[in-house]
Amino acid sequence: MDRLHRTVVMDEFGLIGTYLKPLARGCGPALGLGDDAAVLTPPQGHDLVFTKDMMIAGRHFFADDAPDLIARKLLRVNLSDLAAMGAAPLGYLLGLAFADHLDPDFTRRFTQGLRQDQTAFGIGLYGGDTVSGAGKLCLSLTAIGAVPSGLALKRSAARAGDHIWVSGTIGDAALGLRCLTGGSRREPHLIDRYYLPEPRLALGQALRSVAHGCADVSDGLLADLGHICDESGVGARLESARTPLSDAARRIIGDDRDLLAIALAGGDDYELVFTAPPEKDSLLAEIASRLAVRLTKIGVITDGAGVSLLDSDGGVWHIDRKGFQHD
Ligand code: ADP
Ligand code: MG
């Protein structure tokens, strides 16, 4: 431990210098966090893509969660938004609002998590702001990415007749949260998926010029597919029996329809749900095998509006999503 770690009181500049500047080292736009703002020269022929997600202690994470895991999830949920747009990440801005006073110990462990993931994803810290006295620990991250001009994937581009696809498995994070809150027995795979989503960046980029509508699954499969439908002015028919479930999710769900409903309506999976015309089926199979990402066809886009979910007998299954809504 160096002298600063042992000092209980650390001012904003000490905190920035000790923990944040190292995350900006070698990152051109950051100007070493020594200036008032970052300066980014956009990559030629690209559009810039911006997204921000905020997390509040006690609402979006448990106050006693490991700070490095909180950091990695905060970064990854933002990268997932970039993935959903088909963008490659460049860097990020960080907002730290401490409940009471600046907390060097939290910051040290939080920035360790950021360092691990920013290295893994090849990005750097561009800047941010640090305040105290917010009442609750509030974290905010803005991620910036780039996509070849005009090729960003949009929620608004789904068309009737498209097949609906989803990556990975669905429901793990919502069921993992249930494990953590005592609602189900502990399944480590589900808990890991809740804490550490995998942003589907390579998939998002491979879907440029292939997918029509695309979104990441943050609010739940039904809600996020609903957003694609609303933005595109189409409807969707989804077959619940086709939902890709992990072995751990399958073990927890058994034949409990309420738990399957949690998988379909719960959030936080950070998979991609997208639509593509049927003639792209074989290309999508190739992309799935090249990237070693499971892709599952779960339904079809229709004329009309809204998502209609079919149960395993082909009947319409109405899931009340109110119990699952979060922001
Ligand atoms: P100002 O008061 O001019 O807004 P600050 O003193 O807040 O600037 O910040 C000084 C530098 O430190 C800036 O480059 C800013 O981007 C950076 N910085 C402050 N807080 C953070 C943070 N939480 N994460 C990353 N960079 C930060
Ligand atoms: Mg400031």
Tokens describing residue 136: 């609750």
Percentage of the chain lying above the pLDDT 90 cut: 93
Q: What tens digit of pLDDT does each residue of 166-192 get?
A: 999 999 999 999 999 988 899 999 999
Closest ligand 1 atom number to CA of residue 34: 14
Q: Whose CA is nearest to atom 19 of ligand 1?
A: 129
* DSSP track, 107-158: HHHHHHHHHHHHHHHT-EEEEEEEEE--SS-EEEEEEEEEEETT---BGGG-
Q: Is ligand 1 within 6 A of the CB of residue 36?
A: yes
Which ligand is located closest to the Cα atom of residue 91? 1
Query: Are the CB atoms for 100 and 213 separated by under 8 Å?
Result: no
pLDDT of residue 1: 45
For residue 260, what pLDDT band results from cuts at 50, 70 and 90?
very high
Contact (CB, 8 A) for 146 and 46: yes
Contact status, residue 228 vs residue 213, Cβ threshold 8 Å: yes
Q: Which of 25, 31, 33 to mutate to test the pocket of ligand 1 (most atoms within 8 A of CB)?
A: 33
- How does pLDDT run across 7-25, given as a tens digit for each residue? 456 899 999 999 999 999 9
Mean pLDDT along residues 201-208:
98
- Whether the CB of 11 sits within 6 Å of ligand 1: no
35 Cα–ligand 1 center, Å: 8
pLDDT digits (tens, 9 = 90+) for 39-77: 999 999 999 999 999 999 999 999 999 999 999 999 999
Find the 18 Cα to ligand 2 centroid distance in Å. 16
The helix (run of H) or strand (run of E) holding residue 285 is helix 281-291
Ligand nearest to the CA of 24: 1
Cβ–ligand 1 contact at 20 (below 6 Å): yes
Say which ligand is closest to the CA of 141: 1
pTM for this prediction? 0.94
